C-alpha cells in the first residue's frame, strides 16, 4: 500500500471515530499541540490516559466490592476518570462517567456497578480504536509520509 492510500485510510478512520462519538473536538486540540518541539505529544498523553484509567478502574472495582462502600472515594475516582477522559476528548467515556457520578450521589451500589461496566466497555473500545489509529500513523511515518489532518 502506498503512502497516499494509507493517508486516505487514516483520514477515513479518524473521521469515523469522530462521527461515532468516540472522540470529540478536544482530541483535535491535542493534535494541534503536536509540533516539531513535541512530536509525540498525542501519543504520550494518550498513553498516560491509558495508565491512569486502568488504575482507576481497578480501584473502582475494588472499592465497589467492599462490604461498606465508601461512595466519597468512588466519586473521587470517577471524578478523576471524567477529568482525564475529557482532557483527551474521549467523549463516550466521559459521558459514561457523568452517569456514574449521578448514581454515586444517590449512593446506589447496583447502579454504580452497572455504570462501572459501561465505563469499562467504553474505555476498552476507545483504547482499541486509538491503538489502531497510532498503528496506522506509525506505518505512514515509516513509509516516509506525513500525517494529514482532517477538518
C-beta separation of 109 from 64 below 8 A:
yes
Distances in Å between the alpha carbon of 37 and those of 41, 129, 131?
9, 26, 23
Among 17, 89, 104, 126, interactor with another protein by CB under 8 A:
89
Residues near 78 by Cβ (< 8 Å), separated by ≥ 6? 60, 97, 100, 101, 104
Segment contacting another protein (CB under 8 A): 57-65, 78-86, 108-116, 120-128? 78-86
Segment contacting another protein (CB under 8 A): 59-67, 108-116, 123-131, 140-148? 140-148
Distances in Å between the alpha carbon of 136 and those of 5, 130, 131?
11, 10, 9
Question: Using CB under 8 A, which residues numbered 2 to 21 contact another protein?
Answer: 4, 7-8, 11-12
Which C-beta is closer to another protein: that of 43 or that of 114?
43
Residues at the interface with another protein (CB under 8 A): 4, 7-8, 11-12, 25-26, 29-30, 32-33, 35-39, 41, 44-45, 48-49, 51-52, 76, 79-80, 82-84, 86-89, 146-151
Amino acid at each position: 500500500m502506498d503512502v497516499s492510500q494509507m493517508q486516505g485510510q487514516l483520514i477515513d478512520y479518524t473521521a469515523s471515530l469522530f462521527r461515532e462519538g468516540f472522540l470529540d473536538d478536544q482530541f483535535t486540540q491535542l493534535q494541534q499541540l503536536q509540533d516539531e518541539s513535541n512530536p509525540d505529544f498525542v501519543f504520550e498523553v494518550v498513553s498516560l490516559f491509558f495508565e491512569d484509567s486502568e488504575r482507576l478502574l481497578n480501584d473502582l472495582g475494588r472499592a465497589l466490592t467492599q462490604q461498606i462502600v465508601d461512595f466519597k472515594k468512588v466519586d473521587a475516582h470517577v471524578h478523576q476518570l471524567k477529568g482525564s477522559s475529557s482532557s483527551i476528548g474521549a467523549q463516550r467515556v466521559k459521558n459514561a462517567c457523568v452517569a456514574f457520578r449521578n448514581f454515586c450521589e444517590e449512593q446506589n451500589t447496583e447502579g454504580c456497578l452497572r455504570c462501572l461496566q459501561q465505563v469499562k466497555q467504553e474505555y476498552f473500545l476507545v483504547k482499541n480504536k486509538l491503538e489502531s489509529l497510532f498503528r496506522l500513523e506509525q506505518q505512514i511515518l515509516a513509509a516516509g509520509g506525513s500525517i494529514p489532518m482532517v477538518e
